[in-house]
């Protein structure tokens, strides 16, 4: 199993709206059906989402273009973080989002890949429909 996930998704919203959805707690929580989220959208700012199931820190924040996070699941060993990079590119009226997720624990790839689809891309597509 590879320790890298790369997924591309087309969203029918401008890059700025997609970025805001990823970095504003109220919008993220609404997308996830009300699951609690706290997000400090500045570089170095902490975040938790899905009621604390996922947490970490923002490393690089470029509104409308890129978000890089040190990201971990609650059930991982203490001190174990992965790197998540969301790259946003205008695509006509919408956005091409490219996710790169690396350095996660052995055996987590399939679960994480499915989780991105179910917990991020599907709700985002509904939110922007």
The per-residue pLDDT for range 63-73, each reduced to its tens digit, is 999 999 999 99
Alpha helices in 24-81 (DSSP H): 25-31
Alpha helices in the chain (DSSP H): 15-23, 25-31, 109-116, 122-128
The model carries a pTM of 0.94
Question: Which structural domains are found in the chain, ordered by start?
Answer: 4-128 (3.30.530.20)
The per-residue pLDDT for range 9-47, each reduced to its tens digit, is 999 999 999 999 999 999 999 998 899 999 999 999 999
């Amino acid at each position: 199993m590879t320790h890298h996930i790369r997924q591309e998704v087309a969203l029918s919203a401008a890059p700025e709206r997609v970025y805001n959805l990823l970095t504003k707690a109220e919008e993220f929580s609404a997308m996830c059906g009300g699951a609690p989220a706290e997000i400090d959208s500045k570089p170095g700012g902490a975040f938790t989402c899905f009621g604390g199931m996922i947490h970490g820190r923002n490393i690089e924040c470029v509104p409308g273009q890129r978000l890089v996070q040190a990201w971990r699941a609650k059930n991982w060993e203490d001190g174990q973080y992965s790197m998540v990079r969301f790259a946003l590119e205008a695509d006509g009226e919408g956005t091409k989002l490219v996710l790169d997720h690396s350095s996660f624990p052995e055996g987590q790839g399939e679960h994480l890949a499915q989780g991105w689809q179910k917990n991020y891309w599907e709700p985002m597509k509904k939110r922007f429909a």
